[in-house]
Structure 1
Amino acid sequence: MRMNAYESSKIYKQKIKAYHDKKLQRQNSQPGQQVLLFNSRLRLFPGKLKSKWSGPFVIKEVRPHGFVELVDPTTHTPEKRWIVNGERLKIYNGGQLERLTSVVYLNNP
């Protein structure tokens, strides 16, 4: 009975892995493409409503095993390049980002 449980568990894990791998989509990144970078370090974003996506950045080079070299287009210095995991990127299809801030003053009743 124990061997049957091990075998059924092994079959279940293989089916779940096949299903999960089928749902994954490969991201085709080319140099010169604009992307947004997911920043998972919460200490950099102390506010609740701030976005965790920063950018847009430009892809400088695509390296093996899913690593991507990014360049910040606002600073045109070669020192501002870094290598990140390609899974942390999302393709940016828009134009310029609009950074709007609004201040709402509350009146005492």
Structure 2
Amino acid sequence: MEKACHFPVEMEHKAWWALKFLNFDPAKAQWKRGNQLLELKEMCLHAYESSRTYKDKVKFYHDTKLMKRTFHPGDLVLLFNSWLTLFPGKLKSKWSGPFMVKRVFQSGAVELESSTEDDQQQRWIVNGQRLKHYVGGDVEQFASVMMLVDP
């Protein structure tokens, strides 16, 4: 896909200077102007190619950082809330949940379900990269195991 190219003012004046420099010979001026336009076209194509290779490299780097997680209906997961800034602090967890997975879409989206105090079911669809598996259990249970291990 090619985009329209707008000439800067300097390019317009170069045509007049080329005519003046070449003693107003229209054939030489036309040849020189054609070469300048071809050079400009080559620079544009080179810029588009550089942009395409840069985008490919950034996409490859981004895709290597994605973790492949598979979720199944009935799994318990935690949801990462990056926009949660009500009480900023180091020790505040940005993970909320656990929520139950109701459905997994082929695109990587996951439908979550949570129950409220009124026994109402809330459902919403989130990106699967914002989720991680919930490993159940109480914190006290893990703390007692750690105390037995440390002397």
**Structure 1 residues without counterparts, runs of 5 or longer:** 99-109
Q: Using the TM superposition, give the Cα deviation of residue 89 of structure 1 relative to its aligned residue in structure 2, in angstroms.
A: 0.8
More displaced, 46-55 or 6-15?
Answer: 6-15
Question: Structure 1 or 2: larger helix share?
Answer: 2
Q: Name the counterpart of 1:37.
A: 79
The amino acid of 1:90's aligned partner reads K
Between structures 1 and 2, the one with greater strand share = 1
Matched to 1:40, the amino acid is S
Q: CA deviation at 1:74?
A: 7.4
Structure whose alpha-carbon radius of gyration is higher: 2
Question: Which segments of 5 or more consecutive residues in structure 2 lack a partner in the other structure?
Answer: 1-41, 141-151
Once the two structures are TM-superposed, the CA of residue 75 in structure 1 deviates from its matched residue by: 5.3
Query: What secondary structure does 2:102 align onto?
Result: strand
CA distance in 2, matches of 1:75, 1:69: 20
Which residue is equivalent to 2:114?
A: 72
TM-score (norm 2): 0.49
Which residue is 2:51 aligned to?
A: 9
Amino acid at match of 1:55: G
Which of 1 and 2 has higher RCO (CA within 8 Å, sep 6+)? 1
1:1-109 correspondence to structure 2 within 5 Å: 2=43, 3-43=45-85, 45-48=86-89, 49-72=91-114, 77-96=119-138
Question: In percent, how many aligned pairs have the same letter?
Answer: 54
Offset, 1:13: 2.4
